[in-house]
């Protein structure tokens, strides 16, 4: 289940989970524990986040967890936990986030039963820099594929690319496998639109 972005009055699925970075950088912040929390194979991260771009800024609107009835039955419901994670209203503007938001649009062209690996008819990329939307690009399936190849070529010239290769190496991942991983997820790793 993808997170949701509200942008220009429309609701989109996101092919990135912006709160992953928040939880990584803030290990003391956790989803609330509950004896009725439901973890689904469709939602391993345990939450569904809703974001919004408003006046060009990136905000978190809600974080929900799926809870059961505590009796082991199939009854479940969504419970908002945003106030447990973001206690102050001002902290809901995500100035700490820089990266690319991937918004697939249209029909599925090629279904892959693995995370965000399916291919769609169209894509929108939004570049967020310290919580502000600074660029927007639109692609067809073919255009997005070409963009990712050019993006990877440009990303290989950056210090961040070399840092990632070293990080994978420290984790025991071969250079060949690390390069393949970065190539496949270049939009996630590169954080900025590097090519026209």
**What are the tens digits of pLDDT across the range 5-59?**
999 999 999 999 999 888 888 888 877 666 555 566 667 788 899 999 999 999 9
Query: Cα separations (Å) of 2 from 15, 44, 161, 167, 175?
Result: 7, 11, 26, 27, 30
**What are the tens digits of pLDDT across the range 44-98?**
788 899 999 999 999 999 999 888 755 555 567 888 999 988 887 667 999 999 9
Closest CA to 143 of 125, 162, 122: 122
Could you tell me the pLDDT band of residue 186, with boundaries at 50, 70 and 90?
Answer: very high
pLDDT at 78: 86
Closest CA to 103 of 63, 151, 53: 53
Residue with tokens 């912006």: 18
Is the separation of the CB atoms in 188 and 16 below 8 Å?
Answer: yes
Q: How far is the C-alpha of 31 from the C-alpha of 73, rounded, in Å? A: 22
pLDDT at 101: 97
**110 vs 102, higher pLDDT:** 102
Residue 179: is its pLDDT beyond 80?
yes
**104 vs 76, higher pLDDT:** 104
Residue 116: is its pLDDT beyond 90?
no
Residue % of the chain over a pLDDT of 90: 65
| Nearest-10 Cα torsion for 94, 40, 180, 5 | -30
Q: How many CA atoms lie within 13 A of 187 on its CB side?
A: 23
């Amino acid at each position: 289940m993808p997170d949701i972005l509200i942008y220009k009055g429309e609701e989109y699925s996101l092919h990135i989970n912006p709160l992953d970075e928040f939880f990584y950088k803030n290990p003391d912040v956790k989803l609330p524990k509950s004896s009725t929390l439901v973890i689904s194979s469709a939602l391993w991260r345990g939450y569904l986040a809703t974001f919004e771009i408003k006046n060009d800024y990136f905000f978190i609107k809600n974080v929900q967890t799926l809870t059961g009835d505590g009796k082991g039955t199939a009854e479940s419901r969504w419970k908002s936990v945003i106030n447990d994670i973001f206690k102050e209203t001002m902290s809901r503007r995500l100035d700490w986030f820089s990266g690319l938001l991937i918004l697939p649009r249209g029909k599925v062209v090629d279904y892959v039963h693995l995370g965000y690996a399916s291919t769609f008819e169209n894509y929108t990329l939004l570049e967020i820099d310290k919580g502000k939307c600074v660029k927007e690009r639109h692609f067809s399936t073919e255009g997005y594929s070409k963009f990712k190849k050019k993006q990877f070529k440009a990303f290989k010239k950056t210090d961040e690319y070399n840092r990632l290769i070293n990080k994978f190496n420290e984790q025991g991942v071969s250079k060949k496998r690390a390069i393949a991983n970065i190539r496949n997820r270049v939009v996630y790793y590169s954080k900025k639109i590097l090519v026209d």
